[in-house]
Amino acid sequence: MAGISVTAVLHLRNVVKQYGDARALDGISLSLPDDSYISLLGPSGSGKTTLLRVIAGFERPEAGEIRFKGERIDALPPHQRGIGFVFQNFALFPHLSVEQNIAFGLTNRAIDPVTDSAVVRRKVKDMIALVGLTGLEDRGVSQISGGQKQRVALARTLVTEPKMVLLDEPLGALDANLRTRMRSELRSIRERCGVTFLHVTGSETEALAMGDTVLVLDRARIAQHGDADTIYNRPSSPAVARFLNCYNLLPGRVAGESFVSPVGTVSIGGLRQTAASPTYAIRYDRVSIRAKDAALADGETGVEGTFIASEYTGSAVNAFFTLADGSIFEVEQHLSHAAPSTFEPQATYRLAWKKEDALVYA
């Protein structure tokens, strides 16, 4: 089994989920550590939400087993699993106040509902303070912001004291600025609670920024797991590198210490990994743009490209080039390093990088 930690709160072994002839989960095996923030990253249709729903008990797998805190739970209904779930759309009760929404899980749960109103008020008050909603207790949920709704949804789950919380793209409904702020707030809340969060997202930036461990799901399988630095700098396959949206990928073949591609031959000097389709990968921010006739330094390699456009992103400028086969090649220039360069449309430039910075899949 693909283990992440010996101190694990959740184990999945060979879990399969099918819809008709299509496998949404194809033999998933993993272990999630206790008291940790886990990001689950994957493209649309990779099985992310299905995996979350199977863990929560909203879907039953066709095969495999799920163990939570040492006990097998794949046959248990959701309310008996001790696992909280925060939905993407928050799923708040519009007719209830902030305080009433948070209290709902305590007073209405199937097992051991809390009937003492004083205990409910105390627990809800503590949770409201934890998530930063003090002063909003009597507000209707239609009278608060998106970020505040997110906190209410999280508080409603946490007040029941789950041992693990599943978050299905919890920041997807928020605007960009609020998403950035909520990243740090979610991490801070999790650390104070001391439970494991499993956070599903389609954003590579969000996953890398938040996860102590990052799982990459591709085509219903776990393609890679590891810390954010490993995922970013050493993606295990061309598929993972492509999904990270920061690598140029060149198809071709290995010939000794060179890689022969439709856009030219480049030198190999970096990490080599096994893959079904030979691919050469170089990260956007590892490439420099030079005059067409500029010589390469020792240890460098590169290709020629025709400049077509650039895009300002705030902290960087991304320049786009077409290569000999018509494919697009991207270069990211961080503005903290130097003033942005200007390039002549349809002019040819040399795109160079250190060969040690490249990844080769063969």
Handedness of CA 342, 345, 349, 354 (dihedral sign): positive
Tokens matching residue 238:
């061309």
Q: Which of 204, 233, 262 is the endpoint of a domain?
A: 233
What tens digit of pLDDT does each residue of 72-94 get?
999 999 989 999 999 888 889 99
Based on the fold, state whether residues 41 and 16 are members of the same structural domain: yes
Range of the domain at 125: 8-233
Q: Is residue 170 part of a domain?
A: yes
Token readout for 235 is 């993606």
What is the phi/psi pair of residue 280, to 5°? -115, 130
| Largest separation between any pair of C-alpha atoms in the chain | 80
Q: How far, in Å, CA of 176 to CA of 169, rounded? A: 14
Q: Is residue 84 part of a domain?
A: yes
Asked if residues 248 and 287 have their Cβ atoms less than 8 Å apart, the reply is yes
Rounded Cα gap, residues 267 and 358, in angstroms? 9
* Helix, strand, coil in percent for the chain, rounding step 5: 25, 35, 35
pLDDT, mean of residues 97-116: 88
Helix (H) or strand (E) holding 282: strand 279-283
Of residues 8 and 307, more confidently modeled: 307
* The pair of three-digit structure tokens given for residue 69, joined into one six-digit string: 């805190």
Q: What's the token pair of residue 78?
A: 């959701």
Number of C-beta neighbours around residue 11 at 10 A: 18
The reported pLDDT for the residue numbered 4 is: 41
Per residue in 175-184, pLDDT tens? 777 888 888 8
Rounded Cα–Cα distance for residues 280 and 248 (Å): 8
Residue 239 lies in a domain: no
Coil/strand/helix, residue 245:
coil
For residue 238, tell me if it sits in a domain: no
Residue 183 lies in a domain: yes
Q: Are residues 210 and 304 in the same domain?
A: no
Look at the pTM and tell me if it is higher than 0.95.
no
Residues 168 and 64 in one domain: yes
Are the C-beta atoms of residues 198 and 30 closer than 8 Å to each other? no
Pair (254, 222) in one structural domain:
no
CB atoms within 10 A of CB 70: 8
Total domains in the fold of the chain: 2
Three-state DSSP class for 74?
coil
Give the Cα separation of 14 and 1 in Å (integer). 8
CATH number of the domain encompassing residue 46: 3.40.50.300
CB atoms near residue 167 (< 10 Å):
28
223 and 251 share a domain? Answer: no
**Do residues 291 and 255 touch, judged by C-beta distance below 8 A?**
no
28 and 148 co-located in one domain: yes
Question: In this structure, are strands 359-361 and 279-283 parallel, antiparallel, or unpaired?
Answer: antiparallel
Which helix (H) or strand (E) segment holds residue 108: the answer is: helix 98-108
Q: Could you tell me if 137 and 286 lie in one domain?
A: no
pLDDT in tens, 109-153: 878 888 899 999 999 999 999 998 999 999 999 999 888 998 899
Residue 102 lies in a domain: yes
Stated as kind and residue range, the H or E segment containing 307 is: strand 300-312
- Among 345, 261, 251, residue whose Cα is nearest residue 306: 345
Q: Which amino acid is at 120?
A: V
Residue 179: what pLDDT? Answer: 83
Q: What residues contact 216, with CB distance under 8 A and at least 6 apart?
A: 41, 42, 222, 223, 224, 225, 231, 235, 240, 243
The pLDDT confidence band at residue 341, using thresholds 50, 70 and 90, is confident
Tokens of 226: 């590891």
pLDDT of residue 6: 46
Q: Who's near 143: CB < 8 A, 6+ residues apart?
A: none
Looking at every residue in the chain, the average pLDDT score rounds to 92
Task: Out of 211, 233, 255, pick the residue that ends a domain.
Answer: 233
